[in-house]
Structure 1
Amino acid sequence: MWLAMLTLILVGCTVAALAGLLGGALRQHDPDAMAGQGLPTGDSVLGKVAAIRKSRDDSWTRRPWPYIRDRLTFPPLDIPAVILHSSITPGKCYRVDPATLTCTCSYFLLRGSNAAIGSKERLCRHLRKVYAERGTLPPVVNMVLLDDVHFCETDQLWSGEVEGVPVAIAWREGDPWVTIYTRSNALNQPPEFQRYNFHLDHASWADSRAPKYNASAIRQMLADWFGDRKLMA
């Protein structure tokens, strides 16, 4: 009796498996089998993504990217060479010579050494650190130099005052984000600076965080630079 029941169970499982395989084969040959489900195909999804990306890229390409010559120069400093420990590789050190604006790190040897003396493109992170700590640049510029996460030597960089408050602005062609560094605390206190990000296409501040003292004036500057009146507050 038990043998008969076991046989029936095995036969039932086999029939169910064969039915599943047969149904799948029929659906492959029946183009109307999935017609009523309304599921998007892979090609349609990729097409929509490509259209959105193209529209975004076209808007960035059409934007008149300003070229504002850097006001900042980084001439050699009349101070002795120093040894800096690597912040990435334990036990590794680099010789940084502010008088010749040279460093023994791989970035400087491969890229920075080819840039003109006095340009920010020459500064590796170690030269930037020495410049920020020993140079005579404004504090807001020192913050830019020490921002290893966001600093890019090829960015356009402007520094000055907006409504009497120190500001540094960095941007790169093709990127809708503009980075703004400016004062964030009370004017009667020792200056503290924060980084803010502004999106050109959305005409809005990231996370709704705007500079405390000069947000409207900065937006006016960006509207003038980029030729886009919607950037105004």
Structure 2
Amino acid sequence: MIYINKTIPFWETEKVLPLSYKTGVSIEDYENGAFLLLSDEQSAFHVAHPDATPLEVWKMELTPAPDPAPEPDPLKTARQAKLQEIVAQDEFSNKFFVSVLSGGTEIANVELWIDKDLRNSLYSITLPALQADGQTTTKLWTTGTPPQSIDVPIVWALDKLPLLEIYAKRTYDLKASNEAAAYAATTVEEIAQIDVKANYPYFLTFELNLDLNTQDNANNTTETNS
């Protein structure tokens, strides 16, 4: 006789289990910890399929093996990896620097970035509105953690924003061009030849001369008082 159980998968015994053992006649009983006695047909199935699980023997039915995972497409894999490189390079390009000068000496060099929406808002709405309200400076924020503010003249910012827009357009064109090349490639070798770093423009560094700004503010104050 052969019993199946969740703790003892197959228990061969010469006698029927005594009443002190929890026995059953259904899968539900088995799931609740009972011993199920195999029929002659089920026992024969176990002998024919020694690797079968207790439930497979009870049902006298082997569970179909899962379909093998499809082989990865080398071209698709290479393309996805290249697209990730392109995005990473583009994100790396999203920065510019402000060199703060005082007395002819650089006293700070900070990293910043202004995304497209904020550039457009600053140039067309925010900065002109601040000027109309009598403001002469505005705050920009560094990319570090935590971010730090830097006060810049509004006229200075309006002068630099178009240069930043040109830089951003060039980096976007390179990103889009590299992505188009990756999708158009028909071989892994063609994808490997795409240099995601090539032709990227140098980071922009804008000088902010505090001495000139102080002088401009003094002139503005004199003109206002007169």
What TM-score, normalized to structure 2? 0.25
Q: Which has the larger radius of gyration?
A: 2
What TM-score, normalized to structure 1? 0.25
Larger helix proportion of the pair:
2
